[in-house]
Amino acid sequence: MHLVRDLLDKQLIDVNWQKMGRVDGLLMEARPGTQPHIATICVGGTVLTRRLPGFVGRWSTAVLRRFGPRHGAPFRIPWSRVLSVDAMIRVDVDSDSSDAMASSRWVRDRIIDRIPGAS
Amino acid sequence: MKQKILQLTLGVVTSIGGFLEVGSIATSAQAGASFAYQLIWPVVLGTIVLIFLVEMSGRLAAASKLTVSGAMRDRFGFDYFVVPLVTLSVVIYLVLAAEVGGAAFALQLVTGISYRWWAVPVALLVWLILWAGPFSAVERWVPLVGLVTVVFLVGALELNLDWGALAHGLIPTMPSHDGLHYWFLVVNILGATIAPYLMYFYSSGAVEGKWDESYIGINRVIATIGMSFGALLAVAVLVVCARVFEPAGMRMEGYDQIALMLTGALGSWGFYLFAASLFVGCLGACLEIALAVAYMTAQGLGWRWGQDEEPRKVPRFVLVYTVLLALAPWLIVLGVSPLQVTSMSMALTAATLPVAIIPFIVLMNDPVYVGKHTNGWIGNCVVLFTIVMACILAVVTIPLQLLGGG
Amino acid sequence: MRRGRHRGVGRGGMAAVLAALVAAGCSRSPREQARMELLSVRSWAASAQMVGERWMERAVPDRYAKRALASFVKKIESERSKASAADLPARAKAHIVAAFDSTARATDSLLRVVERGDRAAAAHITARLAARARDAHSMSERLRAK
């Protein structure tokens, strides 16, 4: 499997077939004597801002750490929970009840619900 | 099959809202007033490129079930995707400001109240339609209401047209006078016609409409007829202005002059129908632009999205268009001339076309994404040639124009 | 690395040459500038004239005519200031500034007529504006012919 081509930046789908972000980063694990392999998929938070170049990247990472939901900590999915790798990557996570959708819920609660006619 | 014909309205909506909006009206009017029929060729060239691009975005959606933005992030990764995302968002914001200005000016024409007071209400109205209305309502009503723009065709046909001179305008010629203004208008026309936001809007509509490979044929028809209809209207505007303004030597420097274009042939009807067309065209464009940026952002970042979804289910998608529309009216409120905003936004669109389009062309030639439906070489060549030409012209003429040409 | 830098200079150099060519093609002699100013006078006079005529025909509402004419006056005056400061041949400059002035005055009179609702008086002023436009046009043609 070609990591960058087949995994990175692909759409993630949860166990209920709902979108839950993209593969923003991959954590590899390398132990002596074994092949390096993927340990974790990282979603959101500072993983993305750190990919931005130079000053923009450093500044946005800092802002996210100060003010972001969960202080910019990315949502981590262990490789064992990946169900299928295709055009989209399906994982065994219920995004609605997990931290993956934390910022979405924050926007919903703090902003969307305050506007009349939200539901 | 009936479903597919109904989808024709997607093409017409995209066309009216995306084509005959303030950019096309303003640039066609300026072109006709300053150069008579000489500048019909960039309208036609731009339309051909646009048809190719819109057809490609539909084909991408049908073959891969991905939208343009989603496929771009997928294929090129965030590190490259962020460049078109940010560049296009900034340029498209300026286009949105211009459209808000156009709609606000239409209201000034009718009510006499300054357009600066109307900018915020217009943005609010656009937001309300997106907040409360499902995509299908937008798809159904905009083309119906947009038919008012046919008045430009009526206006054009009312005049005794010199068809020979018109046909001559289809061929690119060197300007007979005022070279800088001529090429600046070419840039503006190309930027007004080849609007990247149309691709994001169209492919998202196709995915929300659940297109599959069986739609590839009808997609070609939709793209061609839809965009051609808009082109026809733009040429009609140009022709009317060529007949009404050019012989009198009137250069269009503001919307109040452009508003006169149908009043000779159609009297007071001409005045109010112009205002109605300007309003509807701009409103449609605002809807599409706001949605296009929200689509681009949400799809690129993997968020949930969809105009048909309840806002609570797609909060970040809704936040994007909300913030965009909140920021949109302020250039106009602060009193920047609407025609200037329009001109600059069109020119900047042309200058940044390669950023959006070149990666897209690469994508459309990649069988991983479009299977056996990759691009033909004609499409690739026409699009790439025009994009590069538009960019070079823009880069050369914008600074000169700013430094006080024309 | 070095190859990349060369390529960068090449592209930048080309753009600079292209810009210089276009600029050279578009830079204006004082006479050409004077001609452009006269065409501007013609454009504004014709615009004010058209607004007046349409208003007389009741093809445009009062509120539009008033706003449009008021904005024309402002723009004519600003162009007049630019022209009087510009590098133009002396005799032409005097004519041009005078032309802007009389066009501004005529447009302003038309504005006041519209405010009064006096359609009879408007015909006289639109004729004046038509004359201003024709004069400016023929002056500009003479500059071109020479």
Residue-by-residue pLDDT tens, chain B, 406 positions: 666 666 666 665 555 555 578 999 999 999 999 999 999 999 999 999 999 999 999 999 999 999 999 999 998 988 889 999 999 999 999 999 999 999 999 999 999 999 999 999 999 999 999 998 877 777 777 777 778 888 898 888 888 788 888 888 888 888 878 888 999 999 999 999 998 998 998 899 888 888 888 888 888 888 888 888 889 999 999 999 999 999 999 999 999 999 999 999 899 999 999 999 999 989 988 998 999 999 999 999 989 998 888 888 888 999 999 999 999 999 999 999 999 999 999 999 999 999 989 999 999 999 888 888 888 898 899 889 988 988 998 888 888 888 764 4
What does the block give as tokens for C128?
Answer: 């004046």
pLDDT of residue C1: 36
How far apart CA B55 and CA B378 sit, in angstroms, is 13
Smallest Cα distance from B129 to chain A, Å? 12
Q: Spell out which residues of chain A touch residue B90, defining contact as CB-CB under 8 Å.
A: none
Token pair 């907040």 in the structure block, residue: B131
pLDDT of residue C8: 44
What does the block give as tokens for B73?
Answer: 């992030």
pLDDT of residue C21: 57
Under a CB-based contact definition with an 8 Å cutoff, are residues B31 and B39 in contact? yes
Binary contact (B312, A18; C-beta < 8 A)? no
Q: Convert the pLDDT of each residue in B115-137 to its tens digit.
A: 999 999 999 999 999 998 877 77
Q: Convert the pLDDT of each residue in B308-325 to its tens digit.
A: 888 888 889 999 999 999
Which of B252, B255, B258, B263 to mutate to test binding with chain C, by most C CBs within 10 Å of its CB? B263
Q: In 3-state terms, what secondary structure has residue B260?
A: coil
pLDDT of residue B210: 85
Share of chain C above pLDDT 70, in %: 79
Q: Spell out which residues of chain A touch residue B78, defining contact as CB-CB under 8 Å.
A: 9, 22, 24, 48, 51
Q: How many CB pairs under 8 A join B and C?
A: 80
Smallest Cα distance from B383 to chain A, Å? 27
C26 has a pLDDT exceeding 60: no
In terms of DSSP H, where are the helices of C1-145?
2-26, 30-56, 62-85, 90-116, 119-145
How far apart CA B234 and CA B228 sit, in angstroms, is 10
Q: What residue ranges define each of the domains in chain A, with the CATH number in brackets?
A: 3-114 (2.30.30.240)
Q: Convert the pLDDT of each residue in C80-128 to its tens digit.
A: 999 998 888 888 899 999 999 999 999 999 999 999 999 999 999 999 9
Q: How many domains is chain B partitioned into structurally?
A: 1
Smallest Cα distance from A103 to chain B, Å? 8
Angle at B16 between CA B12 and CA B17, to 5 degrees: 115
Q: What residue ranges define each of the domains in chain C, with the CATH number in brackets?
A: 29-145 (1.20.120)
Binary contact (B248, C64; C-beta < 8 A)? no
C144 has a pLDDT exceeding 90: no
Binary contact (A9, B312; C-beta < 8 A)? no
Q: Spell out which residues of chain A touch residue B70, defining contact as CB-CB under 8 Å.
A: 11
Smallest Cα distance from C59 to chain B, Å? 4
Is chain B adjacent to chain C, meaning 3+ CB pairs within 8 angstroms? Answer: yes
Q: In 3-state terms, what secondary structure has residue B30?
A: helix
User: Which residues of A sit within 8 Å Cβ distance of B?
Assistant: 4, 8-12, 18-22, 24, 43, 48, 51-53, 87, 103-105, 107-108, 111-113, 115, 117-119
pLDDT of residue C6: 41
Outline where DSSP puts E strands in A25-87: 25-29, 37-43, 75-78, 82-85
The model's pTM = 0.90
Smallest Cα distance from B163 to chain C, Å? 26
Establish if B371 touches chain A: CB-CB under 8 angstroms: no
Out of B179, B268, B392, name the one closest to residue C59 (CB): B268
CATH code: domain of residue B279: 1.20.1740.10
Q: In chain A, which residue's Cα lies nearest the Cα of B320?
A: A107
Widest pairwise Cα distance in chain B: 58
Q: Which residues of chain A have pLDDT under 50?
A: none
CA distances from residue A114 to A107, B122, B298, B311, C36 in whole angstroms, order as listed: 10, 22, 21, 12, 57
How far apart CA B260 and CA B77 sit, in angstroms, is 50
Under a CB-based contact definition with an 8 Å cutoff, are residues B104 and B86 in contact? no
pLDDT of residue B322: 95
Q: In chain B, which residue's Cα lies nearest the Cα of A3?
A: B77
The mean pLDDT value of chain C amounts to 85
How far apart CA B192 and CA B182 sit, in angstroms, is 15
Under a CB-based contact definition with an 8 Å cutoff, are residues B104 and B122 in contact? yes
Domain of residue B216, residue span: 2-402
Q: Spell out which residues of chain C touch residue B395, defining contact as CB-CB under 8 Å.
A: 15
Which of A19, A20, A51, A119 to mutate to test binding with chain B, by most B CBs within 10 Å of its CB? A19
Distance of CA B272 to the CA centre of its chain: 23
Under a CB-based contact definition with an 8 Å cutoff, are residues A73 and A102 in contact? no
Q: Which H helix or E strand runs over A22?
A: strand A19-22
Angle at B339 between CA B172 and CA C61, to 5 degrees: 110
Under a CB-based contact definition with an 8 Å cutoff, are residues A107 and A26 in contact? no
pLDDT of residue B34: 95
Reported as a pLDDT band with limits 50, 70 and 90, residue C7 is very low
Q: The complex's ipTM?
A: 0.88
Beta pairing partners, A43 = A75
Reported as a pLDDT band with limits 50, 70 and 90, residue C146 is low
> Residue C136 carries which side chain, given as an amino acid letter?
A
Q: In chain C, which residue's Cα lies nearest the Cα of B182?
A: C26
DSSP assignment of A77-92 equals: EEGGGEEEESSSEEES
CA dihedral B357, B361, B364, B365 (to 10 degrees): -170
